[in-house]
Amino acid sequence: MNRNKYVRDYTDAIKNLLPQMTEDEGNGILSGKLKIDSFLEELGKFDKNVSKGITAKYMALFQGLLLNHTTFKLSDLDLEMIKSVPPGGNWKNIPVETVEKSKRLKRITQTGGRTTLYGRIDYNKPSYTITTYFNRPGNGTYVHPVHERVLTVREAARFQTFRDEYYFFGNKTQLLKQVGNAVPTLLAYQIAREIKKKTGCSKSIDLFCGAGGMTAGFKAAGIYSLLSNDIEESACVTLKINNPEIKVLCGDITKEETKAAIEKAALEGEADIICGGPPCQGFSMAGFRAADDPRNQLFREFVDIVKRVNPKVIVFENVEGLLSYQGGKTYCEVHTLFAKLGYLTEGRTLMASDFAVPQKRKRVILICTRKDIAISPGELFPSPITVEEACQVTVRETIADLETVPCDDTARYADCDESEILKFFKGEITYEEYINLKTPDDFEKEKTEEAYKQLSFIDLL
């Protein structure tokens, strides 16, 4: 552990909010000799939280601690339920005498339910989708492969491919939303890498940015965010803590003052990409899909910003449920609105586990290119690299090193053999190096792409 490096990194990060901070002062804060609060008197609430978050992050790293390795308390009945479920199992494995204690379980056994409910993760496969409810055994497959608990925030963040140095700020409910709503950073990286390579675009506006999964992946590929916007303050604080050089605007995109600030930053900075994923709960197939849910209309605000800025490339991310919502009318409308603004559009359903992400997370990715740049959007989708089951990244590779690590704020790494993805999480190899390690040779790549065509939903307008 290089403590001097953490002092330098901390000082560089905090200077984005406290430009007068010296390295000696940074060392004093991380060593506990100085208090960060004495430097924050003139900052507003948001910047104070960011400064405290940056300090908490680097103090933990300075002490060799594992960030956000905390889990969630389960009820006695939840514990009784999950003890009966083997790795790869689900609600069907829960005995009748336990089922009788739960109205919900009785209803599921009578009418049927998704096989992911009350599921225990299998070490030998990728995880299932991480949602904003990974603290609840009954809402998906979130039970640890061997322990009688659900995932920790850090374990869930790894399935979303956030590196271990990425610090999440907020209360437990906020952390669940930040991690569960994120775009896996490695998937975002591969999309951004293709865009950067084939268009040269390098400056983005990130809308509905959340905690920064897409932002982190794009940043690693060399695409700089001129401005990131979201309405959730804790998510904005998390993004700023980990990307202190990025301007973050916490505000309601339906308000004209917020739109005007986004437009100004985009035009002055000459943004050539607008990316993001409007909140997807209204389109989700997992819950009640209300036609009048106001979240269903937020994609129009995304379109309005595109109209004002006229970027070269658009990346629009959402849940698979968008395809079938209102019989597919909303999805077609999204295409039509971008096409009317002068864009070629193509949408594909991408499975994250096909892109070296240890999670079976299916998402609709819509890429649009302005007609005058003469590049088809289809050229900007990354090629899948881990379609074959034997090539996919498993849960064991992803979190087994944490099996003996206590789930609390004093957690430290245990010695272990490191898989390729663990080396990535710990910053020992770059995004590019990790993807290169997982990419098959040319012959295998041809087979992979052919197999993927059979799995992927593709359309072009």
Q: Quick check: is 410 in a domain?
A: no
What pLDDT score does 449 carry?
55
Q: Quick check: is 353 in a domain?
A: yes
SS (H, E, C) the chain: CCHHHHHHHHHHHHCCCCCCCCHHHHHHHHCCCCCHHHHCCCCCHHHHHHHHHHHHHHHHHHCCECCCCCCCCCCHHHHHHHCCCCCCCCHHHCCHHHHCCCHHHHHHHHHCCCCCCCEECCCCCCEECCCCCCCCHHHCEEECCCCCCECCHHHHHHHCCCCCCCCCCCCHHHHHHHHHCCCCHHHHHHHHHHHHHHHCCCEEEEECCCCCHHHHHHHHCCCEEEEEEECCHHHHHHHHHHCCCCCEEECCCCCHHHHHHHHHHHHHHCCCEEEECCCCHHHCCCCCCCCCCHHHHHHHHHHHHHHHHCCCEEEEEEEHHHHCHHHHHHHHHHHHHHHHCCEEEEEEEEEHHHHCCCEECEEEEEEEEEHHHCCCHHHHCCCCCCCCHHHCCCHHHHHHHHCCCCCCCCCECCCCCCCHHHHHHCCCCCHHHHHHHHCCCHHHHHHHHHHHHHHCCEEEC
Q: How many domains does the chain have?
A: 2
Among residues 64, 93, 112, the one where a domain terminates is 64
280 is catalytic: yes
Q: Quick check: is 367 in a domain?
A: yes
Q: Quick check: is 140 in a domain?
A: no
What pLDDT score does 88 carry?
97
Residue 146 is which amino acid? V
Among residues 36, 64, 92, the one where a domain terminates is 64
Q: Quick check: is 461 in a domain?
A: no
Instruction: Enumerate residues 6+ apart whose C-beta is below 8 A from 208.
Output: 229, 230, 253, 276, 277, 278, 279, 298, 302
Among residues 332, 365, 380, the one where a domain terminates is 380
What pLDDT score does 247 carry?
98
Closest of 306, 309, 311 to residue 202, by C-alpha: 311
Burial (Cβ within 10 Å: 0-12, 13-18, ≥19) of residue 415: exposed
Q: Quick check: is 222 in a domain?
A: yes
Q: Quick check: is 149 in a domain?
A: no
Q: Give me 194's structure tokens.
A: 């293709």
Expressed as residue numbers, the domain containing 36 is 3-64
Are residue 209 and residue 342 in the same domain, yes or no? yes
CA distance 47 to 59: 18
Is-contact 230 205, C-beta < 8 A? no
- Identify the CATH number of the domain in which residue 245 sits: 3.40.50.150
Q: Exactly one of 201, 209, 275, 280 is catalytic; name it.
A: 280
What pLDDT score does 447 carry?
56
Q: Which residue has the tokens 């908490």?
A: 56
Q: What is the pLDDT along the chain (461 residues), one digit of tens a residue?
A: 578 899 999 999 999 999 999 999 999 999 999 999 999 999 999 999 999 999 999 999 999 999 999 999 999 999 999 999 999 999 999 999 999 999 999 999 999 888 999 999 999 999 999 999 999 999 999 999 999 999 999 999 999 999 999 999 999 999 999 999 999 999 999 999 999 999 999 999 999 999 999 999 999 999 999 999 999 999 999 999 999 999 999 999 999 999 999 999 999 999 999 999 988 544 444 444 444 445 557 889 999 999 999 999 999 999 888 877 777 788 898 999 999 999 999 999 999 999 999 999 999 999 999 999 999 999 999 999 999 999 999 999 999 999 999 999 999 998 888 999 999 999 999 999 999 999 988 645 555 556 555 444 444 44
What pLDDT score does 330 carry?
83
Q: Quick check: is 172 in a domain?
A: no
